[in-house]
Amino acid sequence: GPFFNLEVTKTATTATLNADTTVHGDLSVTSGTLVLAGNDLLLPTIDGSAGSIAVVGIGTIDASAAGSNISLGGSWTNTGTFISGGGTNEVIFTRASGGTAVLDGDTTFQRLRYEVPGGTLAITAGTEITINPTGRFRANGSPGNDVTLTASPDPGGPPDPPGPPPFPDAIGSTADPRQWTLILQPGALLEIDDIVVRWSFAEFVIVLPPGTIALYATTNWRSDLPVFSARTLDTDGTGKINRIAVVTAGPLNYNFGTPPNEFRVVVQGYTVVGYTTDGPPDEFHVVLEPQPFLDTDARPLWRIEQNDTLADSATSTRIVLIDESVPGLNTVEIDGEFWVLPDDAAPPVIGYTLAVPGRNQVYVHLSEPVPGAAFQYNAVPVAAANAAGGVADQDVVLTLPVPLTTADILGGPGISVTGNDVEGNPVLPARATHRVSDLFLVPPDAQELTPVFAREIDLERDATRGGIGLIRDFDGTAYLQPREILLQLFAQTPALVPDSIVYDSDVPASFVNNGLWLPTFAETDFSGIVPFPRTAGPVTSGAPVVAGNLAEFTIPPTGPVRNGVTLGFFPRIQPGPPPLYAARVFSPNSPTWFRNVRPFSFGVAEVFRQRGSVSILNNVINPENGERVFLHYELARAGTVSINVFNLAGDLIDVIHRGRQEAGEHSTSWDGTNRQGRIVARGIYFIRVRGPDIDEYRKVMVVK
């Protein structure tokens, strides 16, 4: 070169530049291929005549080799093929100030530049300009001499004629026929300043970089940072949503501020505990305090209550906001405020399972309804039905072909489920398989594992007549004093011998569901059976003393063991994770047996001390109903003790005790019979207790 009005017109011919080349006039490629081969192609403006490029028909310009740059002073027409290449390959428009360069025809550029202060680059209406992901679009004027990017023809509008723009700074999904389209692919850079953008549609929303930029009749060119979408998340897989992921129109500065200058979101029905920067650069997460129940189907409304700080990463001036006009963003207006309804993206999980040894039913609680869910037990399909009193497709009872054994419940995962929630989210794979029961349930007729008795260790109880200080019922009706307690359990097999018992009292209601609370466990293993695990408060005993099938635990009179409480306890069969606790189930044949699960429990109450160290409990009895009088007395020192029953006439009715006893607490009882074992007549009787420093009478009324 140089060339004058270069034309490439021969079909199936390739012309290759072997050096930087200048063309005076125009370049036309109507057939064949012009290969730049890493050289520059220059079409300067000479004597007012601008060099234009036209690629039409079956013509091709191949600028794919590195270093293939094009500079033109005229216009660009492309109805053929232009191969842009990558790297720093660039097409530069150099039209003189005050002139107009026209760009016509869909074209993909690696880099496109127009930096002519006061000039105009007019893109034919309907034309799509695409910038590669590693590319750049640069258009800069100078102060007072803006560059204008507009459609050709320009449909008008301010400043000539004046008037409001038809759709300023709008969000839309399709271009107006009068607009030109910019497809700035993700990763591509936009460098613009001192510019006016008119009649343009952005395929991907463009958050304006810093600079002096005016918009008119543009779509998806934003001077703020609107929220594009929101979705709920259960990032821990617990069956409880703990985040709302929010996607915005561009990269964020992640400045959530500190009061009083801060970013703050409110969520209906939930407590916001913070914000995180997890996810891609245009996304932030609102961190929620989990609910005390499973809720993966929840879609809580949320809104931005205050935003002084969260903005774009480039300038920190494009503030994040909610714009109800954003396509696909679900908003609800309440009292003039727009709230966002997030999409449901939290998958369902198996929350927990319950089963009773010797029975063939398994109760399954899912985190949300899963219509048509398919259940298996040990990889074999099983029948499923909605549980009585539960939520359809969420509370399910499985019927197994054979009753469950202890080994089945102690074994690993046996229940599995497949299916989708109503939003199409499949069951979370990590929580789609589950063990048969998250508790080892002990019915009243249990043979596998059961508490035998609990007694006060330091109380000397009458071996024949009994007395207070020993209980065999663990449904909360019996009581012991706050003393050191020995608890004995029976285990049918060594695998059922608990390694410890975990106990607590005065458990706050926030940890209790339907009378049940549970000690420590991970909600990633099972969840929803109680609001939250009780991690702080419960006491874990030491290892048991085991003799054959009997295991004995010692409970000291400290911490939860105190006067006036109900002590709940759970034998821990497996330490886990996940742990397996034993709990009692009453009415196991009820249709809602799975609602009848409670801890083992008994009351803790100090005997009301009466005068002379002798206390009588329940002194009105009906012997025909098996009722007894209980006596509690304390000896300051060892000595002979006699306890006798007299009637009003002073006749000796029964001898409860006669003999030597050691110092300390003692207990005995009278069952309302005489020395011959016959029930006495109704009336008033007196029990006399004589011992070291003691001589006390207590009145008893026998009724029938």
Element (H, E) at 688: strand 683-691
The pLDDT value given to residue 279: 85
Residues 359 and 469 in one domain: no
Supply 88's token pair.
């720093």
Average pLDDT, the chain: 92
pLDDT tens track for 181-204: 999 988 898 999 889 999 999 988
Residues 102 and 173 in one domain: yes
Domain presence at residue 292: yes
The pLDDT value given to residue 167: 45
The pLDDT value given to residue 174: 80
Q: How many domains does the chain have?
A: 5
Element (H, E) at 539: strand 539-540
pLDDT tens track for 15-50: 999 999 999 999 999 999 999 999 999 998 876 667
- Distance CA(121)–CA(395), nearest Å, equals 64
Domain boundary among 177, 206, 222: 222
Domain presence at residue 86: yes
Residues 123 and 261 in one domain: no
Instruction: Respond yes or no on whether the N-terminal peptide bond of residue 117 is cis (omega within 30° of 0).
Output: no
Domain presence at residue 442: no
The pLDDT value given to residue 166: 45
pLDDT tens track for 558-612: 999 999 999 999 999 999 899 999 999 999 999 999 999 999 999 999 988 888 8
pLDDT tens track for 645-670: 999 999 999 999 999 999 999 999 99
Domain presence at residue 444: no
CATH number at residue 258: 2.60.40
Domain boundary among 375, 403, 437: 437
pLDDT tens track for 106-126: 999 999 999 999 999 999 999
The pLDDT value given to residue 210: 64
Q: Is the pLDDT of residue 168 over 90?
A: no
Q: Is the pLDDT of residue 170 over 60?
A: no
pLDDT bracket for residue 82 (50, 70, 90): very high
Judge whether 656 and 673 are in contact, CB under 8 Å: no
The pLDDT value given to residue 99: 80
Residues 597 and 617 in one domain: no
pLDDT tens track for 308-320: 999 988 778 789 9
Q: What separation, in Å, do the N-terminal and C-terminal C-alpha atoms of the chain show?
A: 129
Domain presence at residue 335: yes
Place of tokens 């419960």: 538
Q: How large is the average pLDDT for residues 504-511? A: 97
Domain presence at residue 465: yes
pLDDT bracket for residue 681 (50, 70, 90): very high
Domain presence at residue 197: yes
pLDDT tens track for 426-449: 999 999 999 999 999 999 988 899
- Distance CA(23)–CA(1), nearest Å, equals 7
- Three-class DSSP category at 11: coil
Residues 651 and 528 in one domain: no
With pLDDT > 90 as the criterion, what percentage of the chain qualifies? 80
Residue 390 belongs to domain spanning:
350-437
Q: How large is the average pLDDT for residues 471-484? A: 94
CATH number at residue 672: 2.60.40.4070
Q: What residues contact 164, with CB distance under 8 A and at least 6 apart?
A: 158
Residues 85 and 174 in one domain: yes
Residues 245 and 213 in one domain: no
Residues 67 and 116 in one domain: yes
Q: Is the pLDDT of residue 324 over 90?
A: no
- Distance CA(599)–CA(567), nearest Å, equals 9
Residues 189 and 265 in one domain: no
pLDDT tens track for 408-426: 999 878 999 999 999 999 9
pTM to 2 decimals?
0.74
Domain presence at residue 443: no
pLDDT tens track for 370-383: 999 999 999 999 99
The pLDDT value given to residue 432: 97
Bigger pLDDT: 48 vs 77: 77
pLDDT tens track for 254-277: 999 999 999 999 999 999 999 999
Residues 678 and 591 in one domain: no
Residues 242 and 131 in one domain: no
- Distance CA(483)–CA(460), nearest Å, equals 12
- Distance CA(357)–CA(434), nearest Å, equals 17
Element (H, E) at 407: helix 406-410
Q: Is the pLDDT of residue 517 over 70?
A: yes
Q: Is the pLDDT of residue 211 over 90?
A: no
Residues 433 and 576 in one domain: no
pLDDT bracket for residue 294 (50, 70, 90): very high
Q: Is the pLDDT of residue 161 over 60?
A: no
- 459-463, 476-480, 556-560, 566-570: segment of lowest average pLDDT: 459-463
The pLDDT value given to residue 316: 81
With pLDDT > 70 as the criterion, what percentage of the chain qualifies? 96
Domain boundary among 294, 310, 340: 340
Place of tokens 């006399």: 688
